[in-house]
Amino acid sequence: MFDFRSQLRAFPSALRGFFVSRAVYVPLASALILGLALPTVLSYAYPRSSAPVPYALAAATYVIQFAAILLTLAWMGVDPFAWKHLCVWLASVLFLALSLGALALSTPQAQPAGTWFLMASIMAAQTALLCALHALLVIVLAQAPRAALQLTVLLTGVLMSGLLWSREPIHLLSRYPASRESRAGDRLTYGVMELSPPVALAAAWHEAGASSGGRLSEGSRFDLIRAPLTYEVWIGSYQAVPYPAIMPVTEVRAGGQKIWRPNLVLTLLFWALPTLLLGDVLLNAPPKRSRLATLP
């Protein structure tokens, strides 16, 4: 019979054993160096700008995002152990906290604390989604971790490159207005905007411009999708695609009715964290013994 209490007692030792391994503490130590060095290194590649968000700073957050995703995938490739997916996610959160904290300290143009919390939140939710996806695939594929990891890497690549392959399918599906195909095109559009990590990070930067730390006009905020010479031709200038809202808000409608919306970060966490925890619980359960084995 599965003893959940014993599994909970095994979590601290599993977490400690995972974090003291070289494959984990070396990248975590490198996170500080990465955050401190990125502004200087990228300043040679990007021109100086008076924009509220310097180009080098935005590019640095993308480097950290890619590094966190790659580390999460690499850590999920280690041998199975108790509470593996939860430990991997906590390690990715610590990597993000260290690298983004060092980046904030080394940035000449200071950003509000809310901006860094916004960046860390969306990236942590994305790594949680990867861990939950891997846990789900391991269970579905009858505990075949290698096949599950390969499929997770493939799906991650599809999500990361969403802006590159989705334009033509969206245009094809949107040719017939008010049709089922058109609605499918809309779902694909918003799916890319919400689930593709680079686009979601662009949405976070766009939302940061409207935060209490610095309210900027719509045209002067960071805009990766609609700005000239970027991805304006992805959808087409005739079709206005809003960025997904990142943080939860309480909207006040006519009549004083208040509606709370969890938006992207909490939606991802509400789905991902219970899934990865359930996956760890099921994977930690001992295999059932056959009744034939107990017969004399």
pTM, two decimal places: 0.86
To the nearest 10 degrees (0 to 180), the angle between helices 84-106 and 55-75 is 160
DSSP letter, residue 166: S
Write the pLDDT tens digit of every residue in 69-128.
999 999 998 888 889 999 999 999 999 999 999 999 988 777 888 889 999 999 999 999
Which of 64, 164, 188, 84 has its CA nearest to residue 130? 84
Residue 228 in 3-state DSSP? coil
Residue 173 contacts residue 184 (beta carbons within 8 Å): yes
* pLDDT confidence of residue 289: 47
User: Which residue stretches of the chain have pLDDT < 70?
Assistant: 1-4, 49-53, 143, 176-182, 210-240, 254-256, 285-296
Neighbouring C-beta atoms of residue 187, cutoff 10 Å: 12
Q: Are 75 and 88 in contact (CB under 8 A)?
A: yes
CA 223 to each of CA 63, 114, 194, 254: distance values in angstroms, whole numbers, following the listed order: 18, 18, 15, 30
State the pLDDT at residue 229. Answer: 45
pLDDT value, residue 28 = 93
Domain ranges of the chain: 10-287
Region of 143 please: left (phi>0), alpha (psi -120 to 50) or beta. Answer: left
Instruction: Kindly calculate the radius of gyration of the chain based on its CA atoms and give it in whole angstroms.
Output: 22
